[in-house]
Structure 1
Amino acid sequence: MASKERQINRWLNIESSFPTFITCLICNYYGKSEEYKKYISNDIFNAGEIVRHSCPSCNLIFGDLRVLNLSSEEIKNDYEDTYSYYAESETRYFILDSLNSLDIFKNKELSYLDYGCGIGTMIPILTNMGYNITGFDKFVKHENIINNIENLMFDVIYCNNLIEHLLSPIEDIKDILKNLKKNGYLIFISDCLDEYKVEFTHFHTFYYTGNSLNLLIEKLNLTKIELKDVGPSRVLVLQN
């Protein structure tokens, strides 16, 4: 219970007011806060009211701004606190269905990275299926995964339910691309990639609605190979 109380206290101690002017982190639109439509929901982790804003230019939905202004250490502590008492629902079969739907995933000669893999539930499954798979997570320590991928390069990097958790999408994805080989593939699997749903957690900071997803891809100089629905998820395949 102590972990949960620490998380709640950190959230409630953040200044509740918002800036007079807001800059969109995708299209860089700069305008008064009242120009941005507000989306309000309640956090399932009892962290209070979540307020998100929608960019009037590209329609990106982002926030809570109080979360985006947290330090890296505060974010790390928040994740560690949450995972000390919370277990995510079963997603292995949804992930596998999404990956199996892709032609690129049929090639077991390639090197694969599960980026932001949590406790790495997919790693033993894919290893047993004959894939050369590595699991990486910044915040979770577990025997199935590693916490440092510096100087490691992969043919395919996939991220399950990660793109909605980013704090600075363009810069964060550029960091991911440092570990992707030339002409490699970056795959995002998400339940709320370009739709505003699963909004009841403050960990979901970006919804790439409207034109914001295309702008993000353009700014990253990536090529969109495929975007499709597989079960409850959207699957986005990009190439560098």
Structure 2
Amino acid sequence: MQILLAEDDDGVAAALVEVLYDHGHDTRRVRNGRDVLTYHRSADLLLLDLGLPDVDGLEVLRGLRAVSDVSVLILTARGDERSVVRGLRLGADDYLVKPVRLTELLARIEAVTRRTASRPAAPAAPAARTVRAGDVEVDLDARRVRVDGTEVDLTAKEFDVLAALAARAGTAVSREQLLDEVWGDAHHAVSRSLDVHLTQLRAKLRRPGLLTTIRGFGYRFGD
């Protein structure tokens, strides 16, 4: 996997590059936020520190999400809830607070690797897969959502959560199943990430009752 590491601390960066190399990941390290926007096209995953010297990491993420769906794992010393929620809402796939256990970091990266490697090749002339619930249309193949005919802009991870539910419309899906399917490993994903993305989805879709919470179990798309 090609990893782009945005980290201004030389000691931390050197240690991470060495560990990632030992586990088979080619890593390019950059110091500044503007370099992320320059080099992200060659990366499969971005490890993003928020305390960059030129631009705040959250602003880097905002700019990146306007042009790219590359996987982003925030790795930062900021552990306050506001920063975590903002990072996830801006489109980060995961959020880890330093100091982090290297085994956990590698597990998160491996989860992304598994998802990338397991994507099936698109069949020739595939049939469109569109799920409808009232005036909401979810095109699973084109990764588009329309409400009353108007397209709704979702982050990559928000769509992944919605698609996992829409593909099983009318069926209750457990939290563990969603975490495992969307984040790659239910035991390593941050449960709060799912809550934040569901809150964002409900706000953007503006259709009360479309995403139903099944208390003590999970969620359901549609009736």
The answer to whether the superposition gives a TM-score over 0.5 is no
Which bracket does the TM-score occupy, shorter chain normalised?
0.3 to 0.5
If each structure's strand is expressed as a fraction of its own residues, which one has the higher value? 1
TM-score by length of 1: 0.31
TM-score by length of 2: 0.32
Greater helix content: 2
Higher relative contact order (CA 8 A, sep 6+): 1
